[in-house]
A and B are shown apart, each in its own frame.
Chain A
Amino acid sequence: MASGGLVELTQGAEAKIYRTVFLGIPAVVKLRISKPYRHPEYDRVFKYKRTFIEARVMAHLRSLGVRAPSVLYVDPDAGLIVMEYIDGCRLSECLSEMPVGRVAEIALDIGRQTSIMHANSIYHGDLTLANTLMSSKDEVYIIDFGLSGYSRDVEEYAIDVHLLDRSVELLYSELKNAFMDGFWKGYSINASANFVEKLKDKVRDVRLRGRYVEERLRRRVSKDRYA
């Protein structure tokens, strides 16, 4: 299959990642591994579903102009995807070295691409800084679509935004405002103001859903009192 050797890059939580050359193209092999803690039948279905949806969404997004790596080969039964190799670094690792202005530009581009994704009924499901790449050509890529899917429910889109917001807060709390402002600016390029408002409301709902959020208690109490 591969015309070059396999070099293991990393072992993630779910898959092993190798570098190779596939049909002359620098490529990454993502191989989902079986887990000893899963029921074997369950494990099989799990690997198949995740691999299948990831490849399908990546190919679809590519056709829409969202920067996701191109899929070169897929075998869901084996839990295997071969995709284009993107030279660069994860934003979770390299965002801190950038000036605030640059961070805002990157966030704007993530917002723009996310809105295209959502406008086509696709949610990412794990949109965090660890799943966004800055390529050596200064382009922002979105990766890791194993938890993604198709839905017209605003809730799913709101969860994408919520996850991104929280990952920025966790890793670079000082950049959060600049980042999220940029994100919404980018998101609003293609989305209507009406939709953006609706989405922002939903993001707030999702955040308040965490355990023991005091704001939620207050909100409910005042609602009960004045309704």
Chain B
Amino acid sequence: MENAVTQSSLGNIARSIHEGGLSKLTVLGIESTSHTFGVGVVRLSSGAPEILVNEFSRYVPEKGGIHPRDASNYHAKEAPKVLYRALSKAGVKLSEVSAIAIALGPGLGPCLRVGATVARFLSSYYSKPLIPVNHAVAHIEIGKLLNNLRDPLVIYVSGGNTLIAVQRRKRYRIVGETLDISLGNLLDTFAREIGLAPPYVVNGVHQVDACANWGEDFIDLPYTVKGNDLSFSGLLTAALKKARGAKGERELGNVCLSLRETAFNMLVEVSERALVLAAKSEVLLTGGVAANQVLNDKLKSMASLHGAKFYTVPADYAGDNGAMIAWNGLLHYVHGVIVRPEEAFIRQRWRLDEVDAPWLPED
């Protein structure tokens, strides 16, 4: 790989492979922070990382939003199946795996516990090192790996997170974030409350996007940017009020269109300010909402204004998945970050900027 970040990490990895007398390094990663139970396997041999498999099963609520207990029951049922599928597809036996990586947070407690239990069991039963992984860091690193990036401005948007980050002094630093609900939560809650969802996404198109196509006119909605931070809760309340008073598809469409326009513009505005301040030449959009085409177009157009290149992550790797946990686990592992199974506690709140990222370059 041409990537300097990965290059230096790979140097270390190659050394540890050599010193450990190993011919290759295989890490199995488990993700269960929210609606997805995922298992991924990443292998490193002769210096190039390869994603062997990325299997997952996604909990879709019949009504309402994600119920943590229902989701965790779902994970408990799915876990053995997904694990089995992943291992057989990858053609890897558990005994051949070098280490187990687990997303210990941030996320929903009951869901996290399922993945953690599976990972702690595998680690102790097969005597494999256990690697604690932060879900947000994993989202960023998989995007960097797939796009071969060195030092991007990161825009991470999902159902649980909305933040803008840059790497500095071997950590990801949060430049701006939401002060209340996330962008994904805003769109999902709105769609649910006006009766369009679930299902939230149909044929890859979010219900709010589908509804926005019915509208033409712009309505004024609260636009809340505080420095580089965002607030979406007032926007949600105002949009719901307007939507409940709307007559017919056209008027509802106007609300959807305006809601999307306002929310995305807020995010693009703070991203633009962060891009100028941090003077980066790469912009990376990751997380579940990265699949949204309208947001992609806006950010791409913004990045090109400042001569920066815009990158996004393919849907299977942008949403929650096990491969990203495996890859980030591998980066941690070669820098000696492991945890004893009896101390691998879940962390429902584990901020991105609390995690040491020893594989990042000096600055």
A and B assemble together: yes
Residues of chain A having any CB pair with chain B under 8 Å? 12-14, 35-39, 41-42, 45-46, 125-128, 130, 147, 159, 163, 170, 206, 209-214, 216-217
- Checking A12, A14, A130, A211 against B161 with a beta-carbon cut-off of 8 angstroms, the contacting residue is A211
Q: How far is the CA of A209 from the CA of B220 in the complex (A)?
A: 27
- Contact A37:B349 (CB < 8 A) given known A147-B225, A211-B163, A212-B106: no
Q: Are B220 and A37 in contact (CB under 8 A)?
A: no
* Nearest CB on B from A153, distance (A): 12
Beyond contacts A147-B226, A212-B350, A214-B351: 11 other A-B pairs, Cβ-Cβ < 8 A, are: A37-B301, A37-B302, A38-B261, A42-B265, A125-B225, A163-B227, A163-B228, A170-B175, A211-B106, A211-B161, A213-B351
Residues of chain A within 8 A (CB-CB) of B269 are 13-14
* Nearest CB on B from A160, distance (A): 8
Q: How far is the CA of A125 from the CA of B270 in the complex (A)?
A: 13
* Nearest CB on A from B140, distance (A): 15
Q: Are B273 and A14 in contact (CB under 8 A)?
A: yes
Q: Are A159 and B227 in contact (CB under 8 A)?
A: yes
Q: Are A128 and B227 in contact (CB under 8 A)?
A: yes
**Can you report 8 A-B residue pairs in the complex whose CB atoms are below 8 A from each other?**
A13-B272, A35-B301, A36-B301, A163-B226, A210-B174, A211-B106, A211-B351, A212-B349
Q: Sorted from nearest, which 9 A-B pairs have the closest CB atoms? A: A212-B349, A37-B298, A163-B227, A13-B273, A13-B276, A13-B272, A37-B301, A212-B106, A41-B218
- Contact A159:B218 (CB < 8 A) given known A212-B349, A213-B351: no
B277 at interface (Cβ–Cβ under 8 A)?
Answer: yes
- Contact A42:B351 (CB < 8 A) given known A37-B302, A170-B173: no
* Nearest CB on A from B29, distance (A): 21
Residues of chain A within 8 A (CB-CB) of B299 are 37
- Checking A46, A125, A210 against B177 with a beta-carbon cut-off of 8 angstroms, the contacting residue is A210
Residues of chain A within 8 A (CB-CB) of B101 are none
Q: How far is the CA of A206 from the CA of B229 in the complex (A)?
A: 11
Residues of chain B having any CB pair with chain A under 8 Å? 105-106, 160-161, 163, 168, 173-175, 177-180, 182, 218, 220, 225-229, 261-262, 265, 268-269, 272-273, 275-277, 297-299, 301-302, 305, 347-351
Residues of chain A within 8 A (CB-CB) of B301 are 35-37
Residues of chain B within 8 A (CB-CB) of A126 are 227-228
Residues of chain A within 8 A (CB-CB) of B305 are 35-36
Q: What's the count of A-B pairs with C-beta under 8 Å?
A: 86
Q: How far is the CA of A210 from the CA of B174 in the complex (A)?
A: 10
B278 nearest CB neighbor, chain A only:
A170
Residues of chain B within 8 A (CB-CB) of A206 are 179
- Checking A45, A127, A209 against B179 with a beta-carbon cut-off of 8 angstroms, the contacting residue is A209
A214 nearest CB neighbor, chain B only:
B349
Q: How far is the CA of A37 from the CA of B302 in the complex (A)?
A: 7
Q: How far is the CA of A125 from the CA of B229 in the complex (A)?
A: 10
Determine which residue in A128, A130, A211, A216 has the highest number of CB atoms from chain B within 10 A of its CB, and name it. Answer: A211
* Nearest CB on A from B109, distance (A): 11
Q: Are A217 and B226 in contact (CB under 8 A)?
A: no
- Checking A35, A41, A213 against B349 with a beta-carbon cut-off of 8 angstroms, the contacting residue is A213
- Checking B177, B228, B349 against A217 with a beta-carbon cut-off of 8 angstroms, the contacting residue is B349
Q: How far is the CA of A170 from the CA of B160 in the complex (A)?
A: 24
Residues of chain B within 8 A (CB-CB) of A125 are 225-227
Q: How far is the CA of A18 from the CA of B228 in the complex (A)?
A: 24
Q: Are A159 and B265 in contact (CB under 8 A)?
A: no
Q: How far is the CA of A134 from the CA of B244 in the complex (A)?
A: 51
Residues of chain B within 8 A (CB-CB) of A12 are 276
Residues of chain B within 8 A (CB-CB) of A214 are 347, 349-351
* Nearest CB on A from B61, distance (A): 23
